[in-house]
Amino acid sequence: MDALRLISESSLKKDIPVINIGDTVKVHVKIKEGDKQRIQVFEGTVIAKKHGGINETFTVRRISHGCGVERVFPVHSPVVDKVDIVRSGRVRRAKLYYLRSRVGKAAKVKERIR
């Protein structure tokens, strides 16, 4: 059991920012194409966070060419290079699944003033 805990602690990232629900984030993802590797940025609103510890994930939603796109990113994955917080959102829910049925300005999240 101690070996399992050591493996999980060694694979945890140390420099992750505090990501909250409603935040607009830029996720830098490593993409492997053949023998080359590049970084692609996925920007959107965090609509959910699940689990905790090594299994922690967050879901990011954006509108791309009029179609909603959601991606689930593991926080401690080696594929996720870094996460930049663009703006903080002010929400009153733990999950923002209601944004899926909204379009245009109705799908906006208010900004939190710090």
pLDDT of amino acid 111 = 94
pLDDT of amino acid 114 = 73
- In the chain, where the domains are located: 2-104
Residue with the two structure tokens 């594929």: 79
pLDDT of amino acid 15 = 86
**What would the pLDDT profile of 45-75 be if each residue is shown by its tens digit?**
999 999 988 889 999 999 999 899 999 999 9
**One-letter identity of residue 35:** D
pLDDT of amino acid 54 = 85
**One-letter identity of residue 111:** E
Are 9 and 54 in contact, with CB atoms under 8 Å apart?
Answer: no
pLDDT of amino acid 1 = 59
pTM for the full model?
A: 0.89
H, E, C per residue of 39-79: EEEEEEEEEEEECCHHHCEEEEEEEECCEEEEEEEECCCCC
Length of the chain: 114
Give the CATH architecture of domain 2-104. Roll (2.30)
pLDDT of amino acid 11 = 75
**61, 47, 20, 78: CA torsion to nearest 10:** -50
Regions of the chain with pLDDT less than 50: none
Strand partners, 85: 25
